[in-house]
Amino acid sequence: MRRRSVVLAAGLALLLAVPPLAAIAGEPFAVTLASRVLIYALAAASLDFIVGYGGMVSFGHAAFLGLGAYTVGIVASHAFDGTAVPLLPFAWHGTDSALIQWPLAMLISALFALVIGALSLRTAGVYFIMITLAFAQMLYHLFLTLPTYGGQDGLNLWRRSEIPGLDLADDVSFYYLTLALLIISLLILKRLVHSRFGMVLRAGKQNEPRLQALGIPTVRYKLLAFVIAGAFGGLAGALTVNHTEFVGPGLLHWTRSGELLVIVILGGLGSLYGSVVGAAVLLILEEVIAGWTEHWMIVLGPFLVLVVLFARRGLYGWLAGREAEGD
């Protein structure tokens, strides 16, 4: 376990050191970029949970990111205007409290994941990819044409969520909170992967007909995994709207889902930690290369091909060596 432990410890130390290093270097923007990396890592890790362990290649994961972000955005906008949230049986004027907003974001994303998953899991393979993509695009167009909540202009978040004892308007506090949530989420997902539930999930990826022949109703397990992934995607959405103080339909666009898949593949399928590496490399490369040329995809594309060809278990697998397989 040594090499893997060293890699994980070094990664954690590096993430903890970002704000002080940025302060020393006089580059406060680095903290903002690093927060973005962590949020994308969380979204990608939740996607990796179903793709890497469950074999469900979802091309619509941005939907859950967007739903989580819109949930927080909408609830906060009603709190700001003092108006009631529509479609509720009781009058509720929204809230700024993260302790309500964020679990609500997870719940809404999970509910949509339940419906989307229940319908999509009747299919497999390329059909599953297409149908999850279709659902995500439906939601994208829904928010695009919903004038109440900004339509194509999106929604501004006038006040970041509030947590007692923390000032989330401070970028460093926000960064550390995001880091803590990412670590907790990774540990929870990791536990799930190695539990009996996770064992069934991983077996289903390898040989689903055989699992059914053993007497296991595989669809229920896959659906539950899909819902869990949706919930964590929703949490990433709640963080993202706080980070950018804005949510627009672009967050649900299929290119965003594609980006998440790229992060997962880049970092290493079925590793969870790989999502952090993948998000860091993709977003930092994007930032750096975009400074030279707007055609940054020209550089990124071949890089991705090289990773897929030569580091078949992704960048994390390449860093952590064979021991990463136990993840």
Partner 1 sequence: MTDAILEVQGLSKFFGAVAASDSLTFQVERGCCHALIGPNGAGKSTAIAQITGEVRPDGGSIRFNGREISRWPVHRRARAGLNRSYQITSIFPAFSALDTVALAVLARQPHAFRFWRDARRDERLRRSARSFLDRVGLGDRADVRAGDLAHGEQRQLEVAMVLATNPQLVLLDEPMAGMGRAETQQMLDILRPLKGSLSLLLVEHDMDVVFALADVVTVLVKGRVIASGTPSSIRADADVRRAYLGDGA
Would you tell me which residues interact with partner 1 (CB under 8 A)? 191-192, 194-200, 202-203, 206-207, 209-218, 221, 224
Give the closest residue to 161 by CA, choosing from 146, 180, 179, 174: 174
Residue 247: phi, psi to the nearest 5?
-135, 130
User: Is the CB of residue 193 less than 8 Å from the CB of residue 49?
Assistant: yes
- Closest separation in Å from C-beta 269 to partner 1: 12
Tell me the β-bridge partners of 97: 162
CB closer to partner 1, 203 vs 289: 203
- Closest separation in Å from C-beta 86 to partner 1: 35
- Closest separation in Å from C-beta 314 to partner 1: 16
- Closest separation in Å from C-beta 315 to partner 1: 21
User: Is the CB of residue 93 less than 8 Å from the CB of residue 79?
Assistant: yes
- 17-271-41 Cα angle (round to 5): 45
Single-letter amino acid, residue 137 = Q
CB closer to partner 1, 59 vs 226: 226
CB closer to partner 1, 147 vs 215: 215
- Closest separation in Å from C-beta 122 to partner 1: 13
- Closest separation in Å from C-beta 217 to partner 1: 5
For 39-56, the three-class secondary structure string (H helix, E strand, C coil) is HHHHHHHHHHHHHCCCCC
CB closer to partner 1, 144 vs 216: 216
CB closer to partner 1, 221 vs 273: 221
Residue 124: phi, psi to the nearest 5?
-150, 170
CB closer to partner 1, 8 vs 15: 8
The answer for residues whose C-beta is within 8 angstroms of residue 230's C-beta and 6 or more apart is 46, 64, 109, 110, 112, 113, 114, 116, 117
